[in-house]
Structure 1
Amino acid sequence: MKTLVWRGILYPSLEYFNLQSDDKSYTVESKIIGCYEDKIFAVNYSILIDENWIVQSFLIESEINTIKSTFAGKRIQDQWEINNTISPEFNGCEFIDISLTPFTNTLPINNLKLQESISQKIDVLYIDVLNQQIRPVQQQYTRTAINKYLYENIENDFKAEISVDETGLVISYPELFEKIAEL
């Protein structure tokens, strides 16, 4: 089990994160609280991940300015069922990206096992919690050093070099997140 706290920089927040594993899967349970512009938010999320770091299911419960909502997703072979509806636009997405946490960068980092200077594009189910939207996006990861990855969002040209620990968890995501405590 790994427990840590991330601080959100652009979206001021704190995240209390737990990762548990057994021989066949990983389970994440996390809580985020914060504020951004005129939004005060609390988010609880859980993710079930297989041994290859591919998401099998997720549950995101959020409260933004006292309005509660839920995103629930589960993989059914190569399709996603989101809030009890099959969503073909997400076919082929093995990973999710939750806007308010750096954890979801760990999923492709640990799955792809890139060698230095190697890049790979991936299709991702992007969950924008503050705007209550889910959409498919394309991202690219390039391993630039032992514990560093260049993350690129293909649709908007956003780039950042992410530093991770030996387990692939984010230590530093410039201007967005930093790890501030770990057990």
Structure 2
Amino acid sequence: MEHTLIWKRLDSTGMEYCTHTLGERIGIIGKVIRSLPDETSFVDYSVTCDEQGNTEIVTIEYLQQNKKQSMRLEKDSYHRWKRDGIHLPELDGFKDIDIGATPSTNWLPIRRLQLQNGESAELTAAWVRFPEFDVLPLKQTYTRLGEHEYEYRSVSGYTARLSTDAEGIVREYEGEWTEGK
């Protein structure tokens, strides 16, 4: 089963077209376009997960102005991460990817954790930052507030309310993104 949606940034600086796939394999494919006064960028990404929703392979191409960069992240069954074949021990043990250019990857821990109303879970994700285009650990907490409502909080203190559909796919990301209709 596939769910395709278009995101719009609330500040009118960007859009995303993405497809979430549910089935034997879980995945997300997306394209993000961002235009700021001093920066124009394009992010093309693909995330493939196992049947439990653990991230396995991530590919990202990042075009900023005239500079093109790419990375391939892979995680084995022991949750050891590699970037372009080089082991990243600081990410070992983490199950989720958080691609900072998109709200779509929040779906992965929401779906995997299966929280009940009022429950919270803390995790650390492999966070791809933009425009730095690096990968760092990022502690996060997800709290289920209602049937289709979650609170996302990062260790930095950043907080956002996330509204989802029945599959856990984020449809509204407070203050940042909304689904285009």
Q: Would you say the 8 A contact 1:59–1:73 is kept in 2?
A: yes
Preserved CA contact (<8 Å) 1:11 1:34: no
Which shows bigger deviation, 132-141 or 13-22?
13-22
CA distance in 2, matches of 1:47, 1:29: 6
In 1, Cα distance between equivalents of 2:11 and 2:167: 25
Q: In the alignment, what sits opposite 2:134? A: 133
TM superposition shift of 1:19: 2.2
| Counterpart for residue 46 of structure 1 | 46
Asked if residue 172 in structure 1 is aligned to residue 172 in structure 2, the reply is: yes
Q: Matched residues in 1 for 2:153 and 2:12: separation?
A: 19
- Match in the other structure for 2:56: 56
Specify the code of the residue in structure 2 equivalent to 1:96. Answer: I
CA RMSD of aligned residues (A): 1.3
The percentage of aligned residue pairs carrying the same residue is 26
How many pairs are equivalent?
A: 179
Q: How far apart, in 2, do the equivalents of 1:16 and 1:135 lie?
A: 25
Q: Which has the higher strand share?
A: 1
Superposed, which structure 2 residues align to 1:1-183 within 5 Å? Answer: 1-10=2-11, 12-22=13-23, 24-76=24-76, 77-154=78-155, 156-181=156-181
Unaligned runs of 5+ in 1: none
In structure 2, how many angstroms separate the alpha carbons of the residues matched to 1:5 and 1:103?
A: 11
TM-score, normalised relative to structure 1: 0.93
Separation (CA, whole Å) in 2 of partners of 1:11 and 1:58: 27
Where does structure 1 differ by over 4 angstroms across 4 or more consecutive aligned residues?
Answer: none
Change (3 A) 1:131 1:9: farther
1:106 is displaced (CA, Å) by 0.4
Residue 65 of structure 1, CA deviation = 0.8
Separation (CA, whole Å) in 2 of partners of 1:151 and 1:21: 22
Q: Distance in 2 between matches of 1:149 and 1:11?
A: 24
Report deviation, 1:60.
0.5
* Structure with larger RCO (C-alpha < 8 A, sep 6+): 1
Does the aligned pair in 2 maintain the 1:11–1:36 contact within 8 Å? no
Residue type at the aligned position of 2:150: Y
**With structure 2 as the length reference, what TM-score do the two structures score?**
0.94
Equivalent residues of 1:62, 1:129 under 8 A apart: no
Gaps of 5+ in 2: none
Q: What's the CA shift for 1:63?
A: 0.2
Letter in 2 for 1:4: L
Could you tell me how far apart the structure 2 residues matched to 1:137 and 1:82 are?
A: 17
